[in-house]
Structure 1
Amino acid sequence: MKCILIKNAKIVNEGVIFEGDVLIENDIIVEIAESISAKSSDCQIIDAEGNYLIPGAIDDQVHFREPGLTYKGDIESESRAAVAGGITTYIEQPNTIPNAVTQEILEQKYELAAEKSYANYSFMMGATNDNLEEVLKTNPRNVAGIKIFLGSSTGNMLVDNEDTLEKIFSSTPMLIAVHCEDEETIRNNTEKYKAEYGEDVPVTMHHLIRSEEACYISSSKAVALAKKTGARLHVFHLSTAKEMDLFTNKIPLEEKKITAEVCIHHLWFTNEDYATKGNLIKWNPAVKTANDRKVLWEALLDDRIDVIATDHAPHTLEEKQQPYLKAPSGGPLVQHAVVAMFEAHHQGKISIEKIVEKMCHNPAKLFKIENRGFIKEGYYADLVIVNPGLPWSVKKENIFAKCGWSPFEGFTFKSRITHTFVNGQLVYNAFKVKNIRAGKRLLFDR
């Protein structure tokens, strides 16, 4: 039996921080107490004195690029970056090549992850205008949910047929996650700025092209359709103040049929940063204004927004250095998401308990992930030790993502991840990822 005893930790769980010890046997947390003695001489003891012990973060939206786009990233490289950043579980999206829009292709991704993943994993089933039959075959026990792109994406994944949308919403009992941007509005805005600038539209126009209006038109339609059909809707990467009126904090998360997510980049950057960061912060939906960011923070803290994610979506630096209209949207974020939120804590914006709620507990509740997301006896030992006072700077040589760059490059974080455990195995320690692919396929309690 493999035994690890974590001593003297500031344990963060369910809105409380308390000092204590955690005993792990094999892949399970077996005891949590004020003081635990090692039961055998071969039990590894880790002294976490002065540091926080949090559940491993659960990132409900990543793009790890495998299969088909592995020159940008792959399951192995990006899951290594995730565990280095304290993310022990991820849910990956279907816009790989080929798109995961049949059960056969979806299962092939699970087979790849079983061989390669350092972190726990699930993959979304993708919807199109014409694959309803395949969508309805999806197993709710071992697949996270159904993903619908209501804005353009890779391949044939834009779902813009209203009859099809209503059929998907009304016929699947599973969680439906949506990317909301109105394609017609974006096309019209693009033409408007091309008329002004030609092909040399500056990136500073990105938030005006993929505008507040484009986001609101699409997200309000999705919310209205969910209310009409009773669908279980989760809206990914919200970016505008206006959209916050669509969501409620009046009922507990467990009772919500419509839930909301915000990503690290929309909480961190504003359109003013395009001048220095350029295409490195070109995402869809776009990073918007300082007021949008302010209201997103307010909605996060008052529980209209339920989850913090990354939308980790790496591209090569060469791709990002193309002119704005040609440069792809997305960037790598899994390695720096948890420490970025701890940075916000240092700035007085959010409590550590709230970070854990939004990055660990709520994704587990929202997707009904079995025995993860909390520090509880009987749960899987997905755990992270965070030193809140060990500064480090993001440099090319310490970036784990395959693309080799980060929008945080040059920034010095005050906090550092020192240990990451996945299923009871210490996969990251002393700023190195061990060659242990400890990830397991997620199961869902539904």
Structure 2
Amino acid sequence: MFKVNGNQIEEFKLYLAKFIALKGISATREGVVASLKFLTTFIKEQLNGEVELLPTSTNPAIYTELRGKNSETVLLYGHYDVMEADDLGWQTPPFVLTEIAGRYYGRGCGDNKGQLLAQLLGIATYLREYGELPINLKILIEGQEEQGSRDLNKLVKKYQTSLLANIDYVLVIDGSKNVNGKNVIRLGNRGLLAFELGVKVATRDLHSGNFGNVSENAALKLIGYLNKCYDFRTKRVKIPEFYADIQPATTQELEWIKKLPLPQGQPGSNMAYYHKLMFEPTFNINGMQSGYTGAKLKTIIPHKAFVRCDCRLVWGQRPELIRRQLEQLYHEELARGELEIKFLAEIAPSKTDSSSPYLMELIKTIREVTGDCLIEPIMPGTVPNYVWTDTLKVPTFTVPFANFDQNNHSVNENISRQAFWNGIEIIYHFLERKKRYYGTNI
């Protein structure tokens, strides 16, 4: 069975070092052109593929199609853009690949350059051995993921009947392994609706002695509006129909979460823990601001206040419906100009049926390489997988290669050498299993 070894270790590390050094910062676009050139060259020289750059409002996406011997067609998705990084807090320069104690450190090692490169190196290594692919691979590499994939759905809709037609299923290579270090396959993710409520009652702050009881307090007024959409005593959302369409976990999904480890120090059962994370929506206040927040006392009546909230949505909930219901809930306040709502994010939840015939092949591939594979029915976080399941209408599996403690978006981002190598091996054996399945003599 193929394992990364010998000269490959240094060769693959060198590719990763070059890719990390190019930056490709999503927000500032620093290094984006160089990152595109690196990927274009790699795809042409190592995969024998032709590259098409797909324009967006900011950083373009990369598309290539690699023809195989059989009609089965899989789309591989990753992204080349990274978050910003400065030297503060890093133990190594963030854009210089550094190996320490079995880990590669650098911005993008985990999210997502290391995982993306593992995909490409797995394909390249297979092609070196066999010369031809057993199935068709379409590869879409996004450049806006760290901006919330703002144009991804538009892109998919534009090309769903051309470049992205006739896809059997999608593999999203992003995220982290399970907390216990085991590889996982995720069949879905929670969605997101984020919004801001704002109140303004005057043109400036007022003295609380001179104007108390005769002037409105923006902070108090905002708390009253919050109580209209969330019950802080029962911890229930009061937006009409918020819970109406939630779909319960299936018997199979409950069996899978029984096998997931409870994080160390977490009280209660793993069933209760993962059910709350995967199958129950949330209401979260992620920021509030009003009045004076300095070190000393300042007796004022705040003239404005705002709160930012996010709701993680589960399968069955529709963000566009909840948005309309929230607007209706505050219809009178909005009409009178007493309240302002800004919607900040709207991403639908995604889910692939657990009976998909492609799932078992993926499980067998990962177990063949790493010895084990857990199934997480739903990822608690939010990624735009709805573009595959709802727009393209194809099964979608998230298969993260990076270690759980990759520190993505933080200082000292890393990917373990073993995780990087295993990612390459998983793609290689995925293709080799397809070769055996189809009996392709190549």
Q: If the TM-score is normalised by the length of the shorter chain, which range does it land in?
A: under 0.3
TM-score by length of 2: 0.24
Larger Rg: 2
TM-score by length of 1: 0.23
